[in-house]
Amino acid sequence: MFEIELLKSRILTEGQVLPGNILKVDSFLNHQIDVKLLYEMGKEFAIRFKGAGVTKILTVESSGIAVAALCGLVMEVPVVFAKKHQTSNLDSNVYSASVESFTHGRTYNIRVSKKYIGCSDRVLIVDDFLANGRALLGLAQIVEEAGAELVGAAIAIEKGFQGGGDMIRRMGIRVESLVIIDRMDDDGNIVFRE
């Protein structure tokens, strides 16, 4: 069983609250990666989505990839990541969606090759953060465009005070977040939802 208190402790001791409601946890989650911690997260998500028939995991580059990869390892399913930039090795036969990045303050046109998600897939979206929900909505749009079934979203850290998770849940999408932050401030105070 995943120790939620361990993740909370790592956030409190290693996380940095930056201006603009940014939580920096790059010492273990999205720059330097604590692989054992992320593997345990993957196991917890596998338990929470057991029986959902997941055939593919979908995330968006770049910081969601590590969590998604370890989730895919545990669930023994392929991981697909939406690319934020057109590259020469990505042909024009893609699903795409426009996504506003809260952290970067930019809008990206994310793309997934049509070769990797199809109508027979049952897709689990996995990401490191859920803030305003725009990335998740963009990924859900790609799943819908592919004719696949979205079984839910697995999120490491949800910033509940930004409302994205509540909005997504009201849409009928299952969201499983390991921790939900109800409040944080520039003095570094973080309050978790119980």
pTM value > 0.85: yes
Dig out the tokens for 179 from the structure.
């921790």
Residues 50-89: tens digit of each pLDDT: 999 999 999 999 889 999 999 999 999 999 999 987 666 6
The answer on pLDDT for 163 being more than 90 is yes
d(CA 37, CA 119): 33
Task: Please tell me the predicted confidence (pLDDT) of residue 96.
Answer: 92
Entry field: residues in the chain: 194
Task: Please tell me the predicted confidence (pLDDT) of residue 92.
Answer: 79
End-to-end CA distance of the chain: 17
Task: Please tell me the predicted confidence (pLDDT) of residue 42.
Answer: 97
Residues 125-162: tens digit of each pLDDT: 999 999 999 999 999 999 999 999 999 999 999 999 99
The CATH number of domain 4-192 is 3.40.50.2020:
yes
Average confidence score pLDDT of the chain:
93
Q: Where are the alpha helices (DSSP H) in the chain?
A: 4-14, 35-48, 64-75, 134-146, 164-170
